[in-house]
Structure 1
Amino acid sequence: MIYSSGSFVFLCTFVGDSTKTKLMKVHLIYFSATHTTQTVCRGVAQHWGKEIVEHDLTLEGPAGEVELSEDDLLVLGMPVYCGRIPELATERLASFRGHSSKAIAIAVYGNREYDDALIEMAQWLEAHNFHMVAAAAFIGRHCIFPAVADGRPDAADEGKMKDFAEACRPLLEVPVDAIPRVAVPGNAELPPYKRSSFCPVPTDQCTQCGTCAANCPAGAISPEDASVVDASRCLACGRCIVICPVGGRQFAGEAYEQASLRFTAAYSARKEPVFFLPEM
């Protein structure tokens, strides 16, 4: 495997009868503030041995239109924020189009629930001419209350990524019209977007280097003063915390500490990934 310029590149040879299709490329499209969704998408796709092209929407969308052919596969990976995929990600997805292209949806959530994220992804895929052939929900460390699902995805999750990839493998080799769309749970009438009431703040270790501001997906942090945060834009995604070179940012405050205790007590029991595959 060769990793170069944000893409995995593989050599592959296809043999078989005329009922099988030649998969050209696997496109990974993801929003991954703390790199967890990216890790899961890569962890699944690496098992197929196909050429992989990555589109990271965390900081910006593509410069122009991106069209996938009918022989391409889209793996759409999204975190779950307050029950839905990030609104910013939806905006940055606008430039992508399929041509009855196969798609796999992957939601990554912090061990509470994935709520309506998968059905929201399914609706977006259908509206943009993709055919969703499989879906999954994986668990990653919670971005606001990191004691929940700490260390995940772990080795057991990596095994589940391989299991999911193997379960999807036959779907890569048959025509898209031979695969029924897979059903996923959720409310078709999506609820309004919500925001967390908590935003990360600088600690005494903050050097005002500007790294957090430059890497905030929502542009919520002032580049002149890292203590100034636009709470109406902050996603509480935790990117500023993991990106800080000196560990100078965190969630804090009495209300946060109390909420953290309640949330950790309620949602620390380990949940496992779930897969949704078509009946064929």
Structure 2
Amino acid sequence: MKTITTMYFSPTGASRKIANGIAGGIAGTGTFEQKTIDLTKPQAREKTYEFRSNDILVIGYPVYGGRVPAVLQNVLCGLKGTATPAVLAAVYGNRDYEDALLEGQDLLAEGGFTVLAAGAFIGEHSYSAKVGAGRPDAEDLQAAEGLGIKAAEKISAGDYLEVAVKGNRPYKDPMPDMPFTPKITETCTGCGLCAENCPMQVISRENPTQINTGCILCSACVKLCPQQAKYWDAEPILKIKQMLETKFVERKEPEIFI
């Protein structure tokens, strides 16, 4: 029996939804064992993973400045496949995904995977609820499921040809370091939800108002806080937010590569 492994790094949930949608599309075409690996959890990123030729890997991640997130690059480098078919999903905040799909494909190829299908999908931007608002939505999830179905058809037909995706080599320069952390208002109740969901575990569980170094600006704590007690006030982030809300609010659609 073939195994579908759904793997994702998804601080705010968008990449998880897309990866699950793709895996659901594949699973609906036959009988598969299904596994899930949540790379948002630091412990999961410390493990090693190996896959067989009759496995199918579905992996989703957010785009950081047109690239694979730095925190995920070593993880992808460490995955080991045996001519394992893979489906790749890069989720971006309605601006551009640039080299993120190509870089992900290259990293997986080095580990013995063949990316035979891929997609660039839209998620609500981590800095602004107005950019990609409410994405991924029902139409996005339908597109993700459709990608999964098409990928399954290729596998069933024995077509393991690597798909061509958009992107450039050398990849664009990574985002510059921005050593900022969210600000916290007095409405914080200390519930600890932010600390529990921080992918870098830099928020104190004993005192969630304390954020240590190592923040990757994913905004999980900002978007998940039930009291809306966390927010960004660093000038560089506010400038990016303004630029996004000025230039990139028009809806973009998923791009599918099969």
TM-score category of the 2 structures, normalised to the smaller one: 0.7 to 0.9
Match of 1:219 among 189, 201, 208: 201
Deviation, structure 1 residue 259: 4.0
Partner of 2:93: 110
Amino acid at match of 2:218: C
Equivalent position SS for 1:67: coil
Partner of 1:187: 168
Q: How does 1:198-237 map to 2 (within 5 A)?
A: 199-223=181-205, 225-230=207-212, 233-237=214-218
Match of 1:37 among 2, 15, 18: 15
Q: Distance in 2 between matches of 1:211 and 1:172?
A: 40
User: What TM-score do the two structures reach when normalised by structure 1?
Assistant: 0.81
Residues 124-146 of structure 1 deviation map (CA, whole Å, 9 limit, x = unaligned): 11110001111110001001122
1:69 is the counterpart of 2:52: yes
Deviation, structure 1 residue 97: 0.9
Q: Distance in 2 between matches of 1:204 and 1:239?
A: 19
Partner of 1:9: none
Deviation, structure 1 residue 217: 1.4
Partner of 1:272: 253
Q: Structure 2 vs 1, CA of residues 202 and 168 (structure 1 numbering), >3 Å: closer, same or farther?
A: same
What root-mean-square deviation, in Å, do the aligned CA atoms of Structure 1 and Structure 2 show? Answer: 2.3
Q: Distance in 2 between matches of 1:189 and 1:73?
A: 28
Q: Structure 2 vs 1, CA of residues 122 and 257 (structure 1 numbering), >3 Å: closer, same or farther?
A: closer
1:91 is the counterpart of 2:43: no
1:152 is the counterpart of 2:135: yes
Equivalent position SS for 2:129: coil
Deviation, structure 1 residue 64: 4.1
1:173 is the counterpart of 2:151: no
Residues 179-219 of structure 1 deviation map (CA, whole Å, 9 limit, x = unaligned): 32111121222344325745322122112344323432123
Gaps of 5+ in 2: none
Gaps of 5+ in 1: 1-22
Q: Distance in 2 between matches of 1:179 and 1:47?
A: 18
Indicate the structure (1 or 2) with the bigger Cα radius of gyration. 1
Deviation, structure 1 residue 85: 1.5
Which consecutive aligned stretches of 4+ in structure 1 deviate over 6 angstroms post-superposition? none
Q: Distance in 2 between matches of 1:74 and 1:165?
A: 11
Partner of 2:228: 247
Q: Give percent identity, aligned residues only.
A: 33
Residues 32-70 of structure 1 deviation map (CA, whole Å, 9 limit, x = unaligned): 001110001111211223332111111222564321110
Equivalent position SS for 1:66: coil
Equivalent position SS for 2:26: coil
